[in-house]
Amino acid sequence: MREFLSRLAAVCVLLSPLAATAQDTSIDSVAKAMRATGVKSIQYSGSGVNFQVGQNYSPDLAWPRFVVKSYTRVASYETPALRDDLVRLQGEDPPRGGGQPVRGEQRQTFVMSGDFAWNVVGDVVNPTPIALIDRQLQLWTTPHGVVKAAIANKATLQGRVISFVVPGKFRVKATVDGQNLVEKIDAVAPHAVLGDVPVEIRYSDYKDFGGVKFPPKIKQTIGAYPALELTVSDVQPNAAVDASVPEPIRQTPTPYARVTTQMVADGVWFLSGGSHNSALIEMKDHVILVESPLNDERAAAVLAEVRTLVPNKPIKYVVATHHHFDHSGGLRAIAAEDVTVIAHDVNKAFLEKALAAPASVSPDRLAKSGKKGTVEGMRDKRVLTDGTRTVELLHIAGNTHHSGLIMAYLPKEKVLVEADAYTPLAPNAPAPPAVNPFSVNLAENIKRLNLAVDQVLPLHGRIVPIAELHKAIGHHH
Protein backbone atom coordinates (compact mmCIF):
# COMPACT_ATOMS: atom_id res chain seq x y z
CA MET A 1 0.00 0.00 0.00
CA ARG A 2 2.77 2.40 0.95
CA GLU A 3 4.63 1.51 -2.22
CA PHE A 4 1.46 2.17 -4.22
CA LEU A 5 1.00 5.59 -2.57
CA SER A 6 4.56 6.64 -3.24
CA ARG A 7 4.19 5.54 -6.86
CA LEU A 8 0.97 7.47 -7.10
CA ALA A 9 2.70 10.53 -5.66
CA ALA A 10 5.44 10.20 -8.28
CA VAL A 11 2.81 9.97 -11.04
CA CYS A 12 1.05 13.04 -9.63
CA VAL A 13 4.27 15.03 -9.65
CA LEU A 14 4.91 14.04 -13.24
CA LEU A 15 1.39 14.92 -14.27
CA SER A 16 0.98 17.96 -12.06
CA PRO A 17 0.26 20.53 -14.81
CA LEU A 18 -2.41 18.21 -16.21
CA ALA A 19 -3.74 17.33 -12.79
CA ALA A 20 -4.19 21.02 -12.00
CA THR A 21 -6.22 21.49 -15.19
CA ALA A 22 -8.20 18.34 -14.50
CA GLN A 23 -9.50 19.86 -11.29
CA ASP A 24 -10.81 22.75 -13.36
CA THR A 25 -12.65 20.51 -15.79
CA SER A 26 -16.31 21.26 -16.04
CA ILE A 27 -18.57 21.34 -19.05
CA ASP A 28 -18.41 25.14 -18.91
CA SER A 29 -14.62 25.12 -18.92
CA VAL A 30 -14.65 22.75 -21.93
CA ALA A 31 -17.07 25.10 -23.72
CA LYS A 32 -14.73 27.97 -22.91
CA ALA A 33 -11.59 26.13 -24.07
CA MET A 34 -13.26 25.09 -27.34
CA ARG A 35 -14.83 28.56 -27.64
CA ALA A 36 -18.01 26.65 -28.48
CA THR A 37 -20.61 29.18 -27.37
CA GLY A 38 -19.89 31.61 -30.18
CA VAL A 39 -19.94 28.89 -32.86
CA LYS A 40 -23.44 28.80 -34.38
CA SER A 41 -22.25 26.89 -37.43
CA ILE A 42 -18.96 25.67 -38.82
CA GLN A 43 -17.61 24.65 -42.20
CA TYR A 44 -14.52 22.53 -42.51
CA SER A 45 -12.81 20.98 -45.49
CA GLY A 46 -9.94 18.68 -46.21
CA SER A 47 -9.00 15.37 -47.78
CA GLY A 48 -8.15 11.83 -46.77
CA VAL A 49 -9.76 8.41 -47.07
CA ASN A 50 -13.18 7.07 -46.25
CA PHE A 51 -14.72 3.64 -46.16
CA GLN A 52 -18.11 2.29 -47.22
CA VAL A 53 -19.65 1.09 -43.97
CA GLY A 54 -21.50 -2.21 -44.25
CA GLN A 55 -20.23 -2.97 -47.77
CA ASN A 56 -17.24 -5.21 -47.06
CA TYR A 57 -16.39 -8.05 -49.43
CA SER A 58 -16.75 -10.55 -46.54
CA PRO A 59 -18.17 -9.90 -43.07
CA ASP A 60 -14.74 -10.39 -41.45
CA LEU A 61 -12.96 -7.76 -43.59
CA ALA A 62 -12.69 -3.98 -43.14
CA TRP A 63 -15.08 -1.67 -45.00
CA PRO A 64 -13.98 -0.94 -48.62
CA ARG A 65 -11.65 2.06 -48.90
CA PHE A 66 -11.98 5.17 -51.09
CA VAL A 67 -9.63 8.09 -51.62
CA VAL A 68 -11.35 11.34 -50.63
CA LYS A 69 -9.98 14.05 -52.89
CA SER A 70 -12.09 16.72 -51.26
CA TYR A 71 -14.43 16.79 -48.31
CA THR A 72 -16.49 19.72 -47.06
CA ARG A 73 -18.81 19.54 -44.08
CA VAL A 74 -21.14 22.34 -43.02
CA ALA A 75 -22.68 21.91 -39.58
CA SER A 76 -25.40 24.21 -38.29
CA TYR A 77 -26.15 23.87 -34.60
CA GLU A 78 -29.15 26.20 -34.67
CA THR A 79 -31.33 24.58 -37.36
CA PRO A 80 -29.95 21.85 -36.77
CA ALA A 81 -28.50 20.75 -40.12
CA LEU A 82 -25.53 18.99 -41.66
CA ARG A 83 -24.28 18.83 -45.23
CA ASP A 84 -21.35 16.74 -46.49
CA ASP A 85 -19.98 17.20 -50.02
CA LEU A 86 -17.36 14.71 -51.15
CA VAL A 87 -15.38 13.94 -54.25
CA ARG A 88 -13.87 10.49 -54.04
CA LEU A 89 -11.98 7.93 -56.10
CA GLN A 90 -11.78 4.18 -55.92
CA GLY A 91 -9.33 3.06 -53.25
CA GLU A 92 -9.43 -0.71 -53.75
CA ASP A 93 -7.59 -2.40 -56.58
CA PRO A 94 -9.17 -4.64 -57.76
CA PRO A 95 -12.53 -3.20 -56.61
CA ARG A 96 -13.99 -5.55 -54.02
CA GLY A 97 -17.16 -5.04 -52.01
CA GLY A 98 -20.05 -2.62 -52.32
CA GLY A 99 -20.02 0.95 -53.61
CA GLN A 100 -17.76 -0.29 -56.42
CA PRO A 101 -16.55 0.11 -59.05
CA VAL A 102 -15.98 3.88 -59.06
CA ARG A 103 -14.73 5.19 -62.40
CA GLY A 104 -12.97 8.52 -62.20
CA GLU A 105 -14.35 10.97 -59.64
CA GLN A 106 -17.54 10.30 -57.73
CA ARG A 107 -19.44 13.23 -56.22
CA GLN A 108 -21.57 12.60 -53.15
CA THR A 109 -23.80 14.90 -51.13
CA PHE A 110 -25.41 13.85 -47.86
CA VAL A 111 -27.77 16.21 -46.06
CA MET A 112 -29.72 16.32 -42.82
CA SER A 113 -32.02 19.12 -41.70
CA GLY A 114 -34.22 18.77 -38.64
CA ASP A 115 -35.84 15.35 -38.96
CA PHE A 116 -35.19 14.93 -42.69
CA ALA A 117 -32.25 13.21 -44.35
CA TRP A 118 -31.56 12.99 -48.07
CA ASN A 119 -28.85 12.42 -50.65
CA VAL A 120 -28.29 14.57 -53.71
CA VAL A 121 -27.28 12.90 -56.98
CA GLY A 122 -26.92 15.43 -59.79
CA ASP A 123 -30.26 17.27 -59.90
CA VAL A 124 -32.12 14.52 -58.04
CA VAL A 125 -32.82 14.38 -54.30
CA ASN A 126 -33.46 10.97 -52.71
CA PRO A 127 -34.96 10.67 -49.23
CA THR A 128 -32.73 8.60 -46.90
CA PRO A 129 -34.48 8.54 -43.52
CA ILE A 130 -32.45 5.39 -42.76
CA ALA A 131 -29.41 7.70 -42.39
CA LEU A 132 -31.13 10.30 -40.19
CA ILE A 133 -29.91 9.22 -36.78
CA ASP A 134 -26.35 8.69 -38.00
CA ARG A 135 -26.27 12.20 -39.47
CA GLN A 136 -27.74 13.68 -36.29
CA LEU A 137 -25.05 11.81 -34.38
CA GLN A 138 -22.41 13.17 -36.75
CA LEU A 139 -23.64 16.72 -36.11
CA TRP A 140 -23.75 16.35 -32.33
CA THR A 141 -20.33 14.71 -32.16
CA THR A 142 -18.47 17.39 -34.10
CA PRO A 143 -15.95 19.06 -31.76
CA HIS A 144 -18.25 21.99 -30.99
CA GLY A 145 -21.53 20.15 -31.48
CA VAL A 146 -20.74 17.67 -28.75
CA VAL A 147 -20.22 20.48 -26.23
CA LYS A 148 -23.55 22.06 -27.16
CA ALA A 149 -25.33 18.68 -27.05
CA ALA A 150 -23.74 17.93 -23.66
CA ILE A 151 -25.13 21.19 -22.25
CA ALA A 152 -28.56 20.70 -23.87
CA ASN A 153 -28.87 17.12 -22.64
CA LYS A 154 -27.72 17.75 -19.05
CA ALA A 155 -24.51 15.75 -19.38
CA THR A 156 -22.67 14.36 -16.40
CA LEU A 157 -18.93 14.64 -15.88
CA GLN A 158 -16.69 11.97 -14.43
CA GLY A 159 -12.99 12.83 -14.49
CA ARG A 160 -12.39 13.88 -18.08
CA VAL A 161 -15.40 12.07 -19.53
CA ILE A 162 -18.61 13.91 -20.37
CA SER A 163 -21.64 11.61 -20.81
CA PHE A 164 -25.11 12.24 -22.15
CA VAL A 165 -28.00 10.43 -23.79
CA VAL A 166 -30.39 11.58 -26.48
CA PRO A 167 -33.21 9.13 -25.74
CA GLY A 168 -34.02 6.76 -28.60
CA LYS A 169 -31.18 8.23 -30.69
CA PHE A 170 -27.73 7.80 -29.19
CA ARG A 171 -25.52 7.64 -26.12
CA VAL A 172 -22.34 9.72 -26.16
CA LYS A 173 -19.18 9.85 -24.06
CA ALA A 174 -16.73 12.65 -24.89
CA THR A 175 -13.24 12.61 -23.40
CA VAL A 176 -11.35 15.90 -23.03
CA ASP A 177 -7.58 16.34 -22.92
CA GLY A 178 -5.46 18.36 -20.46
CA GLN A 179 -6.43 21.60 -22.19
CA ASN A 180 -10.13 20.72 -21.93
CA LEU A 181 -10.32 20.10 -25.68
CA VAL A 182 -12.50 17.24 -26.96
CA GLU A 183 -10.14 14.45 -28.00
CA LYS A 184 -12.33 11.37 -28.23
CA ILE A 185 -15.95 10.43 -28.79
CA ASP A 186 -17.38 7.03 -27.91
CA ALA A 187 -20.97 6.80 -29.02
CA VAL A 188 -23.53 4.04 -29.39
CA ALA A 189 -26.31 4.41 -31.96
CA PRO A 190 -29.17 2.19 -33.13
CA HIS A 191 -28.48 0.16 -36.25
CA ALA A 192 -30.84 -1.91 -38.42
CA VAL A 193 -28.37 -4.79 -38.78
CA LEU A 194 -26.10 -4.55 -35.74
CA GLY A 195 -28.61 -3.55 -33.05
CA ASP A 196 -26.34 -1.17 -31.14
CA VAL A 197 -23.40 0.11 -33.20
CA PRO A 198 -20.26 1.66 -31.64
CA VAL A 199 -18.96 4.89 -33.22
CA GLU A 200 -15.55 6.19 -32.18
CA ILE A 201 -14.04 9.53 -33.26
CA ARG A 202 -10.57 10.87 -32.41
CA TYR A 203 -9.75 14.57 -32.69
CA SER A 204 -6.11 15.68 -32.51
CA ASP A 205 -3.52 18.39 -33.30
CA TYR A 206 -5.86 21.24 -32.29
CA LYS A 207 -5.13 24.59 -33.90
CA ASP A 208 -6.70 28.03 -33.82
CA PHE A 209 -8.88 28.79 -36.85
CA GLY A 210 -10.38 32.30 -36.86
CA GLY A 211 -10.68 32.39 -33.09
CA VAL A 212 -12.02 28.85 -32.52
CA LYS A 213 -10.18 25.66 -31.70
CA PHE A 214 -10.47 22.88 -34.28
CA PRO A 215 -8.63 19.54 -34.72
CA PRO A 216 -6.97 19.14 -38.16
CA LYS A 217 -6.80 15.36 -37.65
CA ILE A 218 -10.05 13.42 -37.52
CA LYS A 219 -10.27 9.62 -37.37
CA GLN A 220 -13.51 7.74 -37.11
CA THR A 221 -14.47 4.08 -36.79
CA ILE A 222 -17.95 2.66 -37.13
CA GLY A 223 -18.59 -0.90 -35.97
CA ALA A 224 -14.89 -1.16 -35.02
CA TYR A 225 -13.57 -0.73 -38.60
CA PRO A 226 -12.16 2.57 -39.96
CA ALA A 227 -14.83 4.80 -41.53
CA LEU A 228 -13.01 8.12 -42.10
CA GLU A 229 -9.50 9.54 -41.84
CA LEU A 230 -9.47 13.23 -42.61
CA THR A 231 -6.87 15.97 -42.64
CA VAL A 232 -8.62 19.31 -42.30
CA SER A 233 -7.01 22.27 -44.07
CA ASP A 234 -9.66 24.95 -43.83
CA VAL A 235 -12.15 25.86 -41.07
CA GLN A 236 -14.69 28.67 -41.22
CA PRO A 237 -16.69 29.35 -38.06
CA ASN A 238 -20.21 30.69 -38.55
CA ALA A 239 -20.33 29.94 -42.27
CA ALA A 240 -23.70 30.33 -43.99
CA VAL A 241 -25.85 27.18 -44.14
CA ASP A 242 -28.70 26.43 -46.53
CA ALA A 243 -30.85 24.12 -44.42
CA SER A 244 -34.03 24.27 -46.52
CA VAL A 245 -35.71 20.91 -47.04
CA PRO A 246 -36.55 20.27 -50.73
CA GLU A 247 -40.27 19.80 -51.43
CA PRO A 248 -39.94 16.19 -52.74
CA ILE A 249 -38.21 15.26 -49.47
CA ARG A 250 -40.91 16.88 -47.35
CA GLN A 251 -43.53 14.98 -49.36
CA THR A 252 -41.82 11.58 -48.88
CA PRO A 253 -41.35 11.19 -45.13
CA THR A 254 -41.77 7.37 -45.17
CA PRO A 255 -40.40 6.03 -48.47
CA TYR A 256 -39.81 2.53 -47.07
CA ALA A 257 -43.51 1.95 -46.35
CA ARG A 258 -44.45 1.90 -50.03
CA VAL A 259 -44.66 -1.60 -51.51
CA THR A 260 -45.59 -2.17 -55.15
CA THR A 261 -46.47 -5.73 -56.16
CA GLN A 262 -46.06 -7.42 -59.53
CA MET A 263 -47.07 -11.03 -60.13
CA VAL A 264 -44.26 -12.66 -62.11
CA ALA A 265 -45.66 -16.19 -62.36
CA ASP A 266 -48.36 -18.11 -60.55
CA GLY A 267 -47.41 -17.80 -56.86
CA VAL A 268 -44.33 -15.64 -57.53
CA TRP A 269 -44.33 -11.90 -56.79
CA PHE A 270 -41.87 -9.04 -57.10
CA LEU A 271 -42.18 -6.58 -54.20
CA SER A 272 -40.69 -3.22 -55.13
CA GLY A 273 -41.68 0.43 -54.69
CA GLY A 274 -38.47 1.86 -53.32
CA SER A 275 -34.71 1.50 -53.52
CA HIS A 276 -34.63 -2.20 -52.57
CA ASN A 277 -36.84 -5.09 -53.68
CA SER A 278 -37.84 -8.52 -52.38
CA ALA A 279 -39.35 -11.58 -54.05
CA LEU A 280 -42.09 -13.79 -52.62
CA ILE A 281 -42.48 -17.45 -53.58
CA GLU A 282 -45.51 -19.47 -52.56
CA MET A 283 -44.99 -23.14 -51.73
CA LYS A 284 -47.57 -25.80 -50.79
CA ASP A 285 -47.84 -24.95 -47.09
CA HIS A 286 -45.54 -21.95 -46.61
CA VAL A 287 -43.95 -19.02 -48.41
CA ILE A 288 -40.30 -18.07 -49.00
CA LEU A 289 -39.21 -14.45 -48.94
CA VAL A 290 -36.06 -13.56 -50.85
CA GLU A 291 -34.39 -10.59 -49.14
CA SER A 292 -35.55 -8.39 -46.26
CA PRO A 293 -33.68 -5.14 -46.94
CA LEU A 294 -33.21 -1.75 -45.27
CA ASN A 295 -34.82 -1.66 -41.82
CA ASP A 296 -37.73 -2.53 -39.52
CA GLU A 297 -40.02 -0.10 -41.30
CA ARG A 298 -39.44 -1.71 -44.71
CA ALA A 299 -39.73 -5.21 -43.22
CA ALA A 300 -43.07 -4.33 -41.59
CA ALA A 301 -44.44 -3.04 -44.92
CA VAL A 302 -43.20 -6.14 -46.79
CA LEU A 303 -44.62 -8.44 -44.09
CA ALA A 304 -48.01 -6.76 -44.37
CA GLU A 305 -47.94 -7.20 -48.16
CA VAL A 306 -46.95 -10.88 -47.84
CA ARG A 307 -49.90 -11.46 -45.51
CA THR A 308 -52.27 -9.78 -47.97
CA LEU A 309 -50.98 -11.83 -50.92
CA VAL A 310 -50.87 -15.20 -49.11
CA PRO A 311 -52.94 -14.86 -45.94
CA ASN A 312 -52.99 -18.50 -44.87
CA LYS A 313 -49.37 -19.62 -45.13
CA PRO A 314 -46.51 -18.76 -42.79
CA ILE A 315 -43.15 -17.46 -44.00
CA LYS A 316 -40.80 -20.38 -43.44
CA TYR A 317 -37.57 -18.96 -44.85
CA VAL A 318 -36.06 -15.61 -45.67
CA VAL A 319 -33.16 -15.85 -48.09
CA ALA A 320 -30.40 -13.30 -47.40
CA THR A 321 -28.45 -12.82 -50.65
CA HIS A 322 -25.48 -11.34 -48.72
CA HIS A 323 -24.73 -9.49 -45.50
CA HIS A 324 -24.38 -5.94 -46.91
CA PHE A 325 -26.27 -3.70 -44.53
CA ASP A 326 -28.71 -2.23 -47.04
CA HIS A 327 -29.76 -5.78 -47.98
CA SER A 328 -29.86 -7.33 -44.50
CA GLY A 329 -31.38 -4.44 -42.49
CA GLY A 330 -34.84 -6.03 -42.39
CA LEU A 331 -33.68 -9.48 -41.24
CA ARG A 332 -34.00 -8.67 -37.54
CA ALA A 333 -37.69 -7.84 -37.97
CA ILE A 334 -38.36 -11.02 -39.98
CA ALA A 335 -36.42 -13.13 -37.45
CA ALA A 336 -38.74 -11.73 -34.78
CA GLU A 337 -41.53 -13.62 -36.61
CA ASP A 338 -39.71 -16.97 -36.14
CA VAL A 339 -38.61 -17.09 -39.76
CA THR A 340 -35.37 -19.01 -40.48
CA VAL A 341 -32.70 -17.08 -42.39
CA ILE A 342 -30.82 -18.89 -45.16
CA ALA A 343 -27.47 -17.39 -46.15
CA HIS A 344 -24.14 -18.47 -47.59
CA ASP A 345 -21.75 -19.94 -45.00
CA VAL A 346 -19.56 -16.83 -45.40
CA ASN A 347 -22.34 -14.79 -43.75
CA LYS A 348 -23.66 -17.31 -41.21
CA ALA A 349 -21.63 -16.40 -38.13
CA PHE A 350 -22.00 -12.67 -38.81
CA LEU A 351 -25.79 -12.89 -39.19
CA GLU A 352 -26.15 -15.09 -36.10
CA LYS A 353 -24.26 -12.50 -34.09
CA ALA A 354 -26.26 -9.63 -35.61
CA LEU A 355 -29.58 -11.33 -34.82
CA ALA A 356 -28.48 -11.99 -31.23
CA ALA A 357 -27.16 -8.45 -30.69
CA PRO A 358 -28.90 -6.13 -28.22
CA ALA A 359 -30.69 -3.01 -29.46
CA SER A 360 -30.68 -1.07 -26.22
CA VAL A 361 -30.59 2.51 -27.54
CA SER A 362 -33.77 2.12 -29.57
CA PRO A 363 -35.31 -1.34 -29.08
CA ASP A 364 -36.50 -2.76 -32.42
CA ARG A 365 -39.02 -5.50 -33.21
CA LEU A 366 -36.47 -8.27 -32.57
CA ALA A 367 -35.28 -6.80 -29.26
CA LYS A 368 -38.90 -6.47 -28.13
CA SER A 369 -39.65 -10.08 -29.16
CA GLY A 370 -36.78 -11.44 -27.05
CA LYS A 371 -35.90 -13.87 -29.89
CA LYS A 372 -32.39 -14.61 -31.18
CA GLY A 373 -33.12 -15.74 -34.74
CA THR A 374 -32.02 -18.86 -36.60
CA VAL A 375 -29.59 -18.91 -39.52
CA GLU A 376 -28.97 -21.88 -41.80
CA GLY A 377 -25.83 -21.78 -43.93
CA MET A 378 -25.23 -23.16 -47.40
CA ARG A 379 -22.29 -23.45 -49.77
CA ASP A 380 -22.66 -23.93 -53.53
CA LYS A 381 -26.28 -25.01 -53.75
CA ARG A 382 -29.39 -25.62 -51.71
CA VAL A 383 -32.68 -26.79 -53.18
CA LEU A 384 -35.99 -25.94 -51.53
CA THR A 385 -38.86 -27.99 -52.88
CA ASP A 386 -42.31 -29.22 -51.95
CA GLY A 387 -42.83 -31.53 -54.93
CA THR A 388 -44.66 -28.92 -57.00
CA ARG A 389 -42.24 -26.01 -57.03
CA THR A 390 -38.47 -25.95 -56.83
CA VAL A 391 -36.31 -23.05 -55.71
CA GLU A 392 -32.56 -23.39 -56.22
CA LEU A 393 -30.34 -21.20 -54.10
CA LEU A 394 -26.96 -20.89 -55.82
CA HIS A 395 -23.66 -19.29 -54.92
CA ILE A 396 -22.56 -16.63 -57.43
CA ALA A 397 -18.98 -17.89 -57.42
CA GLY A 398 -16.06 -15.54 -57.85
CA ASN A 399 -18.07 -12.33 -57.69
CA THR A 400 -15.93 -9.48 -56.39
CA HIS A 401 -18.98 -7.66 -55.01
CA HIS A 402 -19.20 -10.21 -52.21
CA SER A 403 -17.57 -13.56 -51.45
CA GLY A 404 -20.82 -15.14 -50.21
CA LEU A 405 -23.42 -13.84 -52.67
CA ILE A 406 -26.34 -16.17 -53.44
CA MET A 407 -29.13 -15.98 -56.03
CA ALA A 408 -32.50 -17.74 -56.24
CA TYR A 409 -33.37 -19.62 -59.43
CA LEU A 410 -36.81 -21.02 -60.29
CA PRO A 411 -36.18 -23.57 -63.09
CA LYS A 412 -39.84 -24.12 -64.03
CA GLU A 413 -40.65 -20.41 -64.14
CA LYS A 414 -37.23 -19.53 -65.65
CA VAL A 415 -36.88 -16.70 -63.14
CA LEU A 416 -33.65 -15.51 -61.50
CA VAL A 417 -33.59 -13.33 -58.36
CA GLU A 418 -30.25 -11.61 -57.73
CA ALA A 419 -28.81 -8.68 -55.80
CA ASP A 420 -26.04 -6.25 -56.79
CA ALA A 421 -24.41 -8.54 -59.39
CA TYR A 422 -26.61 -6.86 -62.02
CA THR A 423 -28.76 -3.75 -61.55
CA PRO A 424 -30.59 -2.77 -64.75
CA LEU A 425 -30.38 0.88 -65.69
CA ALA A 426 -33.53 2.95 -66.22
CA PRO A 427 -35.11 2.17 -69.63
CA ASN A 428 -33.69 5.19 -71.49
CA ALA A 429 -30.47 5.66 -69.55
CA PRO A 430 -27.30 6.07 -71.63
CA ALA A 431 -24.95 3.09 -71.68
CA PRO A 432 -22.30 3.22 -68.92
CA PRO A 433 -18.73 4.02 -70.01
CA ALA A 434 -17.48 0.57 -69.02
CA VAL A 435 -18.89 -2.88 -68.37
CA ASN A 436 -19.64 -3.80 -64.75
CA PRO A 437 -17.38 -6.74 -63.74
CA PHE A 438 -19.99 -8.00 -61.24
CA SER A 439 -22.50 -8.40 -64.11
CA VAL A 440 -19.97 -10.17 -66.35
CA ASN A 441 -19.40 -12.60 -63.48
CA LEU A 442 -23.16 -13.17 -63.06
CA ALA A 443 -23.50 -14.04 -66.76
CA GLU A 444 -20.56 -16.46 -66.43
CA ASN A 445 -22.25 -18.15 -63.47
CA ILE A 446 -25.55 -18.46 -65.36
CA LYS A 447 -23.66 -20.13 -68.21
CA ARG A 448 -21.53 -22.34 -65.95
CA LEU A 449 -24.60 -23.59 -64.06
CA ASN A 450 -26.57 -24.00 -67.29
CA LEU A 451 -29.52 -21.97 -66.01
CA ALA A 452 -32.41 -21.35 -68.38
CA VAL A 453 -33.40 -17.80 -67.43
CA ASP A 454 -36.11 -15.74 -69.10
CA GLN A 455 -36.55 -12.98 -66.54
CA VAL A 456 -34.25 -11.35 -64.01
CA LEU A 457 -35.78 -10.05 -60.78
CA PRO A 458 -33.07 -7.70 -59.55
CA LEU A 459 -33.20 -6.61 -55.92
CA HIS A 460 -32.49 -3.05 -57.13
CA GLY A 461 -34.36 -1.70 -60.15
CA ARG A 462 -36.94 -3.22 -62.48
CA ILE A 463 -37.70 -6.69 -63.86
CA VAL A 464 -35.94 -7.26 -67.17
CA PRO A 465 -35.64 -10.05 -69.75
CA ILE A 466 -32.28 -11.84 -69.59
CA ALA A 467 -31.33 -10.20 -72.92
CA GLU A 468 -30.89 -6.92 -71.02
CA LEU A 469 -28.10 -8.46 -68.96
CA HIS A 470 -26.34 -9.69 -72.10
CA LYS A 471 -26.75 -6.28 -73.69
CA ALA A 472 -25.34 -4.58 -70.58
CA ILE A 473 -22.18 -6.67 -70.73
CA GLY A 474 -21.81 -6.33 -74.48
CA HIS A 475 -23.09 -9.68 -75.74
CA HIS A 476 -25.74 -9.04 -78.34
CA HIS A 477 -27.89 -12.10 -78.98
One residue of 48, 59, 98, 274 binding Zn ion per CB under 5 A: 98
Stretch that binds Zn ion, among 163-171, 236-244, 259-267, 413-421 (CB under 5 A): 413-421
Report in angstroms how near the CB of residue 400 gets to Zn ion at its nearest: 11
Report in angstroms how near the CB of residue 439 gets to Zn ion at its nearest: 13
Report in angstroms how near the CB of residue 122 gets to Zn ion at its nearest: 22
Q: How far is CA 413 from the centre of its chain?
A: 34
Question: Closest CB to Zn ion among 90 and 142?
Answer: 90
Give the 3-state secondary structure of 300-345: HHHHHHHHHHCCCCCEEEEECCCCCHHHHCCHHHHHCCCCEEEEEH
List of residues 6+ apart from 119 with CB closer than 8 A: 108, 109, 110, 111, 125, 126, 128, 131
Q: Which long-range contacts (CB under 8 A, 24 or more apart) does 219-227 make?
A: 222/53, 222/63, 222/197, 222/198, 223/53, 223/54, 223/191, 223/194, 223/197, 223/198, 224/198, 225/51, 225/53, 225/56, 225/62, 225/63, 226/49, 226/51, 226/62, 226/63, 227/50, 227/51, 227/53, 227/63
Report in angstroms how near the CB of residue 188 gets to Zn ion at its nearest: 25
Q: Are strands 278-282 and 268-272 parallel, antiparallel or unpaired?
A: antiparallel
Cβ atoms within 10 Å, residue 53 = 23
- Please report whether residue 420 would count as binding Zn ion according to CB under 5 A: yes
Stretch that binds Zn ion, among 27-35, 38-46, 64-72, 418-426 (CB under 5 A): 418-426
Question: Closest CB to Zn ion among 54 and 237?
Answer: 54
Report in angstroms how near the CB of residue 401 gets to Zn ion at its nearest: 6
Question: Closest CB to Zn ion among 98 and 190?
Answer: 98
**Residue 468: CA atoms inside 13 Å, Cβ hemisphere, count?**
18
Nearest alpha carbon to residue 169 among 137, 139, 127, 144? 137
Stretch that binds Zn ion, among 187-195, 293-301, 316-324, 370-378 (CB under 5 A): 316-324
Is the Cβ–Cβ distance between 402 and 324 less than 8 Å? Answer: yes
One residue of 135, 191, 323, 324 binding Zn ion per CB under 5 A: 324
Length of the chain: 477
- Please report whether residue 65 would count as binding Zn ion according to CB under 5 A: no
Report in angstroms how near the CB of residue 98 gets to Zn ion at its nearest: 4
Report in angstroms how near the CB of residue 399 gets to Zn ion at its nearest: 10
Which residue's C-beta sits nearest to Zn ion?
324
Report in angstroms how near the CB of residue 404 gets to Zn ion at its nearest: 11
Nearest alpha carbon to residue 238 among 38, 104, 4? 38
- Please report whether residue 458 would count as binding Zn ion according to CB under 5 A: no
Stretch that binds Zn ion, among 97-105, 109-117, 184-192, 373-381 (CB under 5 A): 97-105
Stretch that binds Zn ion, among 128-136, 355-363, 369-377, 419-427 (CB under 5 A): 419-427
Stretch that binds Zn ion, among 41-49, 187-195, 209-217, 416-424 (CB under 5 A): 416-424
Q: Rule CB under 5 A: which residues touch Zn ion? A: 98, 324, 420
